[in-house]
């Protein structure tokens, strides 16, 4: 029996992916340019994962991701993560990110201070760039100093980041949202 499984699913942003195993969620992927690249992103952590229909507890996570991308605020504090193989510093950054509630943001500097030194801001950004659980471990809630929309490598970049923050109520709608 395989150790890891994955599934691809449709969202308003495109076809996302999620991988899991007995230890919890292993990886999440925003839509890549094609399914092969989405699967490649997932299987970097979920080596030899087999595509399979998701069990009920994974289906709940997928349904909540789909709802979030459709404009319905969702929290993911119930999700169990498999942190095996993730560097300690990155685990610390992910833990701090998980503590940020929908509708809130923090800066890279805020997280660095919580880790003991504002000089760690760049390392925080690098750790978030390696976050294997985007969406669920909400790196979109981390902004630059003064609320600047920076450092988001998901498809759509900072536009996607702003969209998610608006859905969650961290940013107010602007003039162009009604168009």
The residues pairing with 10 across neighbouring beta strands, listed in sequence order, are 15
Name the maximum alpha-carbon separation found in the chain: 53
> 4-69 with 88-178: one CATH topology?
no
Band (pLDDT 50/70/90 cuts) for residue 61 is very high
Pairing mode, strands 24-29 and 106-107: unpaired
Give the range among 100-109, 114-123, 168-177 with minimum mean pLDDT. Answer: 168-177
CATH 3.30.160.70 corresponds to the domain 4-69: yes
Give the range among 67-71, 77-81, 86-90 with minimum mean pLDDT. Answer: 67-71
Burial of 128 (0-12, 13-18, 19+ CB in 10 A): buried
Across 53-78, average pLDDT: 92
Pairing mode, strands 50-51 and 24-29: unpaired
Residue with tokens 């992927």: 29
Residue with tokens 């498999």: 82
Domain ranges of the chain: 4-69, 88-178
CATH domain 88-178 topology: Arc Repressor Mutant, subunit A (1.10.10)
Specify the pLDDT at position 179.
43
Higher-confidence position of 1 and 36: 36
Q: Which residues form the catalytic set?
A: 139
Across 47-76, average pLDDT: 93
Specify the pLDDT at position 152.
63
Integer Cα distance of 17 and 9 in angstroms: 6
Pairing mode, strands 4-11 and 50-51: parallel
């Amino acid at each position: 029996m395989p150790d890891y499984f994955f599934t691809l699913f449709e969202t308003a942003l495109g076809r996302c992916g999620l991988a899991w195993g007995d230890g919890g969620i292993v990886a999440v992927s925003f839509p890549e340019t094609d399914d092969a690249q989405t699967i490649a992103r997932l299987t970097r952590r979920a080596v030899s994962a087999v595509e399979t229909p998701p069990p009920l507890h994974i289906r709940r996570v997928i349904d909540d991701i789909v709802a979030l991308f459709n404009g319905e605020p969702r929290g993911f504090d119930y999700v169990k993560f498999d942190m095996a193989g993730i560097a300690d510093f990155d685990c610390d950054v992910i833990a701090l990110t998980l503590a940020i509630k929908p509708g809130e943001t923090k800066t890279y500097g805020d997280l660095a201070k919580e880790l003991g030194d504002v000089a760690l801001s760049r390392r925080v950004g690098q750790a978030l760039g390696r976050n294997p659980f985007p969406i669920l471990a909400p790196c979109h809630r981390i902004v630059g100093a003064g609320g600047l929309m920076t450092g988001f490598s998901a498809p759509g970049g900072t536009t996607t980041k702003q969209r998610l923050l608006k859905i969650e109520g961290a940013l107010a709608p602007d003039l162009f949202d009604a168009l």
